[in-house]
Every structure is written in structure tokens, then in C-alpha cells.
Amino acid sequence: MGHNILEENGYPCYCGKRGCNEQVISGPALQRFYLEQSGESRNLKEILERYHQGSDPYAAATVDRLLEYFGRAVSTIINMLDPDAIVLGGGVGNIDLLYTEGFERAKKYVFNDRRLNTLFLKPKLGDSAGVFGAALMG
């Protein structure tokens, strides 16, 4: 899913395309967006803290960008596969807002009359679940 195109004419990606999910809603992409908007470099944790404090418009814009594009990205999967659940892996999956506000944004974009029955779940193995999977296959 990381290399599905999400933003037309977006940032170039290491895979050779532009505007992939990785270049829009990954932690590094969100930090880059915040830096471009504010002129200040902050990590995602700090950006989220500033968003929750409600006093940083750049943090608000960055989190809104995450929620909006997350909603579009995940609704594409839901419209195609109608899964019972989606497990949100990677560092971004630790963001609690995705399970509430992100879920609401996805509702905007699902085809099924804005009814969304898919569960959004955290990986039981944390954000290293992919590494455990790779080790099991080795």
C-alpha cells in the first residue's frame, strides 16, 4: 500500500513514482511537510503534541493533511476489499487519532453510503510486526 499513488505530482519517491503514500502520510513525509510550512524541524511526536495543545497552526495543518490523506488511502482499500479489519502498521499506526478522526475521514470516502463497518486495529506486535514476520519466513 505504501507505493500506491496518493497525491498527483507529489514528492518523488525512491520507488521511481511520485506522490506515493510513503511520500504523503509516513512519519518522515509529515515532518517534511511541517518543516516546509513552519520553517522549523520537529519530529512527529512533537508535531502531535503541538496539535493537541491547539496553539500551532502548522501542526494543525500537518495533522489535517495526515487525516485527510489517510482517509482517502484507506477508503480505497475498503472500497475494493471490504475487509472486516485493517491493522495499521508502522510508526504512524501508533497515532491514536487515526482510530477516531482517521476513521471518520475514511467514512467520507467509502462508497457504501458512508457506513463503515471495518475495524481499525493496532498491531499486537507493535510497529515491528513486519520484522517479526520477516524473521518467521527466514
88 binds Zn ion (CB under 5 A): no
Give the Cα separation of 52 and 1 in Å (integer).
28
Give the Cα separation of 25 and 61 in Å (integer).
13
Given the rule CB under 5 A, which of 2-10, 59-67, 78-86, 102-110 is the region that contacts Zn ion?
2-10
Is residue 65 within 8 A of residue 37, CB to CB? The reply is no
18 binds Zn ion (CB under 5 A): no
Given the rule CB under 5 A, which of 10-18, 64-72, 83-91, 129-137 is the region that contacts Zn ion?
10-18
Residues 110-129 that bind Zn ion (CB under 5 A): none
The candidate with the shortest Cα–Cα distance to 112, out of 85, 82, 71, is 82
DSSP string, 95-126: -GGGGTHHHHHHHHH-TTTT---PEEE--TTG
**Minimal distance in Å, beta carbon 39 to Zn ion?**
27
| Total number of residues that touch Zn ion (CB under 5 A) | 5
15 binds Zn ion (CB under 5 A): yes
Q: Which of 6, 20, 59, 73 binds Zn ion (CB under 5 A)?
A: 20
Residue found under cell 502498521:
89
Query: Which residues of this chain interact with Zn ion, rule CB under 5 A?
Result: 3, 13, 15, 17, 20
